[in-house]
Amino acid sequence: MEIKSAKFVISNTRIDKCPQDGKPEYAFIGRSNVGKSSLINMLTRKPKLAMTSATPGKTMLINHFIINDAWYLVDLPGYGYAQRGKKAKDKLTQIIETYILEREQMTNLFVLIDIRHEPLAIDLEFIEWLGENGVPFSIVFTKADKLGTQRQRENVERYLAKLREQWEELPPHFVTSSEKGVGRAELLGYIDEINSSLFRVESLELRV
Ligand code: GDP
């Protein structure tokens, strides 16, 4: 898929204020500093579309971007801010959970994991929660350029082995580097495939 246009639409904390046109949404989430903004900018080839960590403020919000006037890329708040107080954390959890569980348009959630780190409880617990709630998700390993090919493979394998302890079937996974543009074609191809299948279902429904 080619990205012909990528535009910021709206930021907010409530799903009833999110766009109501029913277009499919692909959301991105991960611990702060995992490389989420960099990935969004790499995918859209707009270096300033998502604010990187150096720009605080938008980090507590659900940010919608419209791509090719056809689907939304959704930048969700990062989880696991050590320095936030309990109240702020609870509020953040509530924003994230409400979006993930109640937003019908959310077609797939990409969970970002820093490829260098060993499996962290906070991510594993979040993934487990997604599974328990039947949320469609995929795993995106970030910052692959920080490791050699062999270490990348080992770390991905270690992560998947950890997930296999819990799950019989593993979610799709992608290895990416925003620095080098790695994984861009694969991620966009995956989104395109899902969009095409949604369109096929829609046209079948129209025919009935
Ligand atoms: P966010 O908090 O998840 O949005 O993370 P950012 O996108 O702001 O990235 C956090 C830090 O990691 C920044 O210093 C980025 O330059 C760096 N970073 C992000 N992605 C990559 C990557 O693919 N390769 C490398 N080498 N650094 C990255």
CB of 152 sitting under 6 A from ligand 1: no
137 within 8 A of 28, measured Cβ to Cβ = no
Q: What is the pTM of this model?
A: 0.94
For residues 145 and 177, what is the distance between their CA atoms, to the nearest angstrom? 6
Q: How many residues does the chain have?
A: 208
Instruction: Express each pLDDT in 105-147 by its tens digit.
Output: 999 999 999 999 999 999 999 999 999 999 999 999 999 999 9
Mean pLDDT for 160-169 is 93
Question: What is the rounded distance in angstroms from the CA atom of residue 58 to the CA atom of residue 99?
Answer: 16
Mean pLDDT of the chain: 91
Whether pLDDT at 53 is above 70: no
Secondary structure letter of residue 175 according to DSSP: E
- Counting from 1 in the atom list of ligand 1, the atom nearest the Cα of 182 is 23
Query: What is residue 81's predicted lDDT score, i.e. its pLDDT?
Result: 65
Supply 50's token pair: 């998502």
Cβ(78) – ligand 1 distance below 6 Å = yes
Range of the domain at 21: 6-207
- Rounded to a whole number of angstroms, the distance between the first and last alpha carbons of the chain is 29
CA distance 191 to 195: 6
Residue to substitute in 42, 52, 59 for testing ligand 1 pocket (most ligand atoms within 8 angstroms of CB): 52
β-bridge pairing 6-12 and 62-67: antiparallel
Q: Give the CA-trace dihedral at 125, 126, 132, 138, to 10 degrees.
A: -120
Task: Name the domain count of the chain.
Answer: 1
Taking the C-alpha atoms of residue 176 and residue 145, their distance in angstroms, rounded to an integer, is 8
CA of 50 to the centre of ligand 1 (A): 12
Q: CATH code at 45?
A: 3.40.50.300
Residue 95 lies in a domain: yes
- Is 1 contained in some domain? no
Query: Could you tell me if 66 and 59 are in contact, meaning their C-beta atoms sit under 8 angstroms apart?
Result: no
